[in-house]
Amino acid sequence: MVLSLSYHPEPGRADFAGRHQVNLRLAYYPPYHSKYNPIERTWGVLENHWNGSILDEIDTVLQFARSMTWNGHHPVVNLVTQTYQTGVKLTKRAMAEVETQIQRLDEFEVNGKLLNLGKWFVDILYCPEPALA
């Protein structure tokens, strides 16, 4: 599953894990490491495709995006006109509640070396409610 999300593990993802009774592992790309993110390669292909054309109308941009190919495939292109909320902030109390459902990969072994990936990998765990006696 691919989730398009901001960096912070706000309560919505913990709610998603609980609602669907699944554990989630989120892997974030470090800042300024776009070479690891396949979508970033797409922008270069698109830039070569429009080859310096003037992109002064939305329809022109959409047509170029729809007609490009990357690895033999045309992308699915949709115009998004809604504004997305940014800068979601939690109180310390609310974040403490979210942190009870999060495990960070602080010690992760790769080729015999322990790496601290806690900043880039987060597990959000499904925690069933305890049964009432």
- One-letter amino acid of 12: G
* Position 34 pLDDT exceeds 60: yes
Mean pLDDT, the chain, rounded, equals 77
Q: Give residue-wise pLDDT tens across range 45-87.
A: 888 998 889 989 999 999 999 999 888 888 888 898 888 777 7
Q: Where are the domains of the chain?
A: 11-124
pLDDT of residue 62: 92
Instruction: Name the pLDDT band for 102 (thresholds 50, 70, 90).
Output: confident
Q: Which of 21-25, 27-31, 41-45 has the lowest mean pLDDT?
A: 27-31
Cα atoms found within 13 Å of the Cα of residue 29, Cβ hemisphere only: 12
Name the β-bridge partners of 127: none
Report, as an integer, the average pLDDT of 101-110.
77
- Residue 66: count of CB within 10 angstroms of its CB: 12
Q: pLDDT of 108-130, one tens digit each?
A: 777 888 777 777 788 887 877 66
Q: How confident is the model at residue 12 (pLDDT cuts 50, 70, 90)?
A: low
* Residues pairing with 73 in the sheet: 70
What pTM, to 2 d.p., does this model score? 0.45
Mean pLDDT on 5-26: 69
Separation of alpha carbons 68 and 75, rounded Å = 7
